[in-house]
Amino acid sequence: MAETDLLSRARATRVVVIGGGIAGLVAARECARVGFTVTLLEASDALGGQIAAAHLDGVRVDAVADSYAPGVQGLVDELDLGDRVVPLADRAVWISGLPGAAPVPAQALAGIPANAWADDVRRIIGWGGAWRAYLDRLRPPLTIGRQKNLGTLVRSRLGARVLDRLVTPLTRGVYGVDPSQVDADAAVPGLSTALTRLGSLSGAVADLLVDAPDTTRRSLRGGMSVLVDALAVDLAALAVDLRVGAPADRLERDGEAWRVHVAGDEPLPADVVIVATPRTAALALLDAAGAPVAADDPAVPAPADVVTLLVASRDLDAAPRGGAVYPVSAQAASVLHADAAWPWLAEALGGGRHLLRVRLPRPDAAASAPDDDAVIALALAEASAALGVALPPGALHAAHRVVVEPAAPASVLGHADTVAAVRRSVARTPGLAVVGAWLGGAGIASTVADAIAEADRVRHRVLWANDSGPDVKPPAL
Ligand SMILES: Cc1cc2nc3c(=O)[nH]c(=O)nc-3n(C[C@H](O)[C@H](O)[C@H](O)COP(=O)(O)OP(=O)(O)OC[C@H]3O[C@@H](n4cnc5c(N)ncnc54)[C@H](O)[C@@H]3O)c2cc1C
């Protein structure tokens, strides 16, 4: 097909993206770059989804996600944000509620220690825990087999202390899931092979640490919302019609096309609809569109309150518990001391003021939501316990609370099968695609990569009527 025909076919294709989180923004961008006519609908009054901002005491701060993994660097560079990039401060991550608190051992992967006798490991698991973990080194390699379940693997090789005091707080705090729901080899790539080769789990970790890829997180001066702002500018330049406060209610077939119903507005015609909402909204939209998917996800993290607290406390000036604390058996899954992790934020806040972010899972999602004051008071108490400093109500200057629907990480057991089943079902309905962290896996990096790949499939289907297209890429406009 001639290039001009491709361009006019692209321009005549109306794409509606539902959801203005990072998945929707990136999918919209990929479609607009080849000339599709794109409208993006965001239900709330701001773009970004879980890359959300709050204004506390005159400072714009991150309210949920606050950093990105190396996989996002390409997008950051494309958006010309290189001069905004800031590295994570070299602060330890701590575990609290041991009793007491201690930094996460330096030589560990996903909390699995390379050496049970190391001082920083023994401080957490005690002598008894270290002796039990040492059995891992003595067990014959033949008994290892291929245990996929991270929880079972760690408990059987290294004992309950390592599981409960190291691996569980990190898995729960970072991803909102239990180690028993996690695929060990997906969480720590190469673990099974190294374990089989070396005969012990801690030996495998020690081996993998030698060449461990750099996973150091970065952020942007001004917070991760700077990425969303830059994407919005880029999308506007690509003539994407960005609509906030526009929740899509329902999708309806209209011959070969779609009508997207938006609360209080005229239905929008579309040739292609890309659903980019969290899981619950996506399943409802697909169901109503006559494209129901069987998404029996093995592990869906509980919804969570994420509370950002601006406090005045000189006791926090020296960052007594580093940049992040993951408690053992507490209501909070994590307490982040954000300005200790990100020096730009410390500068913006000025001395004596500190920004804490507390993640409170809400396992009983059906129960009526507690009011803001109760949740904020709980967050303050949990932060005080995790950080080991008194934070009386008078220390609180400002607070922000948001309820999020977290996605499971791509490393949960069965995730790949679930995603494949969802994508197979959706592919049966022409002009429909689904993106978002619930499929790509929690985290901006995996969500972006998945959205780019899925938008690419959409482009090929529209322009060449297949999933992979010819060898040449469509011309970028
Ligand atoms: C507490 C927490 C901290 C995190 N921290 C980090 C971090 O530091 N770094 C990192 O890489 N990842 C982090 N993540 C994960 C990461 O933020 C998410 O995986 C990612 O941002 C999800 O993007 P998304 O576009 O799939 O979904 P979302 O961000 O949830 O966006 C979906 C959008 O769809 C909109 N929507 C819903 N229904 C409709 C509808 N009917 N019509 C129109 N719009 C609709 C929503 O309003 C929302 O804006 C964190 C997650 C949590 C929960």
CATH 1.10.645.10 fits 105-210, yes or no: no
pLDDT category at 370 given cuts 50, 70, 90 is: confident
Q: What's the mean per-residue pLDDT of the chain?
A: 91
Give the least confident one: 13-22, 187-196, 291-300: 291-300
Q: Which atom of ligand 1 is nearest to the CA of 444?
A: 11
Ranges 6-10, 190-194, 278-282, most confident:
278-282
Q: Each residue of 340-350: pLDDT tens digit? A: 999 999 999 98
- The pLDDT value recorded for residue 86 is 96
Asked whether residue 440 carries a pLDDT value surpassing 70, the answer given is yes
- Residue that is written with structure tokens 């970065």 in the block: 218
Q: Which atom of ligand 1 is nearest to the CA of 357?
A: 1
Question: Is the CB of residue 447 below 6 angstroms from any atom belonging to ligand 1?
Answer: yes
What is the CA(97)–ligand 1 centre distance, in A?
29
pLDDT category at 264 given cuts 50, 70, 90 is: confident
Residue nearest to atom 48 of ligand 1 (CA): 49
Tell me the percentage of the chain whose pLDDT exceeds 70.
Answer: 94
Residues 75-101 have a mean pLDDT of 93
- The pLDDT value recorded for residue 475 is 38
What is the CA(51)–ligand 1 centre distance, in A?
6
Asked whether residue 13 carries a pLDDT value surpassing 50, the answer given is yes
More confident residue, 361 or 365: 361
What is the CA(278)–ligand 1 centre distance, in A?
7
CATH fold group of domain 3-50+224-298+412-463: FAD/NAD(P)-binding domain (3.50.50)
Question: Is the CB of residue 240 below 6 angstroms from any atom belonging to ligand 1?
Answer: no
Q: Hey, where are the domains in the chain?
A: 3-50+224-298+412-463, 52-70+81-88+216-220+302-405, 105-210
Q: Which atom of ligand 1 is nearest to the CA of 50?
A: 29
Q: Is 214 exposed, middle or buried (0-12, 13-18, 19+ CB in 10 A)?
A: exposed
- The pLDDT value recorded for residue 474 is 41
Paired with 168 in beta bridges are none
What b/e sequence results for 199-211 when a residue is b if at least 16 CB atoms lie within 10 Å of its CB, and e otherwise? bbbbbbbbbbeee
More confident residue, 175 or 404: 404
Long-range contacts of 417-425 (CB under 8 A, 24+ apart): 418/295, 418/296, 418/297, 418/298, 421/293, 421/294, 421/295, 422/293, 422/294, 422/295, 425/291, 425/292, 425/293, 425/294
- Residue that is written with structure tokens 């009983």 in the block: 364
What is the CA(429)–ligand 1 centre distance, in A?
25
More confident residue, 135 or 241: 241
Please tell me the distance from the alpha carbon of residue 249 to that of residue 268, in angstroms, as a whole number.
11
What is the CA(339)–ligand 1 centre distance, in A?
22
Q: Each residue of 178-191: pLDDT tens digit? A: 999 999 999 999 99
- The pLDDT value recorded for residue 169 is 96
Q: Is 380 helix (H, G, I), strand (E, B) or coil?
A: helix
DSSP per-residue codes, 265-292: SPPEEESEEEE-S-HHHHHHHHHHTT--
Q: Each residue of 309-333: pLDDT tens digit? A: 999 999 999 999 999 999 998 899 9
What is the CA(463)–ligand 1 centre distance, in A?
30
Question: Is the CB of residue 272 below 6 angstroms from any atom belonging to ligand 1?
Answer: no
pLDDT category at 196 given cuts 50, 70, 90 is: confident
Question: Is the CB of residue 225 below 6 angstroms from any atom belonging to ligand 1?
Answer: no
Paired with 233 in beta bridges are none
CATH fold group of domain 52-70+81-88+216-220+302-405: Polyamine Oxidase; Chain A, domain 2 (3.90.660)
Question: Is the CB of residue 441 below 6 angstroms from any atom belonging to ligand 1?
Answer: no
Q: What tokens appear for 272 in the block? A: 């292609």
Q: Each residue of 29-53: pLDDT tens digit? A: 999 999 999 999 999 999 999 999 9
- The pLDDT value recorded for residue 367 is 66
The answer for residues whose C-beta is within 8 angstroms of residue 179's C-beta and 6 or more apart is 149, 150, 151, 154, 163, 167, 168, 171
What is the CA(151)–ligand 1 centre distance, in A?
27
Question: Is the CB of residue 65 below 6 angstroms from any atom belonging to ligand 1?
Answer: yes
Q: Which atom of ligand 1 is nearest to the CA of 281?
A: 38
What is the CA(141)–ligand 1 centre distance, in A?
42
Asked whether residue 242 carries a pLDDT value surpassing 50, the answer given is yes
pLDDT category at 468 given cuts 50, 70, 90 is: low
Asked whether residue 132 carries a pLDDT value surpassing 60, the answer given is yes
Asked whether residue 54 carries a pLDDT value surpassing 90, the answer given is yes
Give the least confident one: 217-221, 273-277, 285-289: 285-289
Q: Which atom of ligand 1 is nearest to the CA of 248?
A: 42
Asked whether residue 110 carries a pLDDT value surpassing 80, the answer given is yes
Q: What tokens appear for 358 in the block? A: 């507390």
pLDDT category at 72 given cuts 50, 70, 90 is: very high
Paired with 218 in beta bridges are 68, 87
What is the CA(93)–ligand 1 centre distance, in A?
24
Please answer whether residues 191 and 184 qualify as being in contact, where contact means their C-beta atoms are separated by less than 8 angstroms: yes
Residues 75-97 have a mean pLDDT of 94
Asked whether residue 71 carries a pLDDT value surpassing 70, the answer given is yes
Residue nearest to atom 1 of ligand 1 (CA): 64
Question: Is the CB of residue 67 below 6 angstroms from any atom belonging to ligand 1?
Answer: yes
